[in-house]
Amino acid sequence: MTGPLADLLVLDLTRALAGPHAAMTLGDLGARVIKIEPPNGDDSRSWGPPFMDDSEHTSTYFLSANRNKESVVLDLKSPEDARLLERMVARADVLMENYRPGVLDRLGFSMDRLHELNPRLIVLSITGFGHDGPEASRAGYDQIAQGEGGIMSLTGVGAPTKVGVPIGDLVAGVNGVVGVLAALHERASTGRGRVVRTSLLAGMVGFHAFQGTRWTVAKEVPGLAGGHHPSIAPYGMFATATAPIQIACGSESLWRALCGTLGWDPAVDGFATNRERVANRPALVERLESDFASAPAEHWLALLDAAGVPSGKVRTLDDVYEWEQTRSQGLVVTVDHATLGPIELPGSPLRFDDNAYSGARETHLAPPLLGEHTEAARAEFAEA
SS3 call for 9: strand
Q: Please answer whether residues 107 and 76 qualify as being in contact, where contact means their C-beta atoms are separated by less than 8 angstroms.
A: yes
Element (H, E) at 195: strand 195-199
Q: Partners of 71 in the beta sheet?
A: 35
What is the 8-class DSSP label of residue 14?
-
Angle at 177 between CA 174 and CA 183, to 5 degrees: 145
Determine the Cα–Cα distance for residues 44 and 199; give it in Å rounded to an integer. Answer: 19
DSSP, residue by residue, 291-354: HHTTS-HHHHHHHHHHHT--EEE---HHHHHH-HHHHHTT-EEEEEETTTEEEEEE--S---TT
Give me the catalytic one of 75, 169, 305, 353.
Answer: 169
DSSP, residue by residue, 124-176: EEEESS-SSSTTTTS---HHHHHHHTTSGGGSSSSS----SS-HHHHHHHHHH
Q: Please answer whether residues 175 and 202 qualify as being in contact, where contact means their C-beta atoms are separated by less than 8 angstroms.
A: yes
Looking at the chain, the number of H-run helices and the number of E-run strands are 16, 11
User: Considering just the CA atoms, what is the radius of gyration of the chain in Å?
Assistant: 24
Burial class (CB in 10 A: 0-12, 13-18, 19+), 292: buried
Contacts of 158 (CB under 8 A, 6+ apart): 224
Q: Helices 297-307 and 252-262 sit at what angle, rounded to 10 degrees?
A: 130
Q: For this structure, is 265 an active site residue?
A: no
Catalytically annotated residues: 169
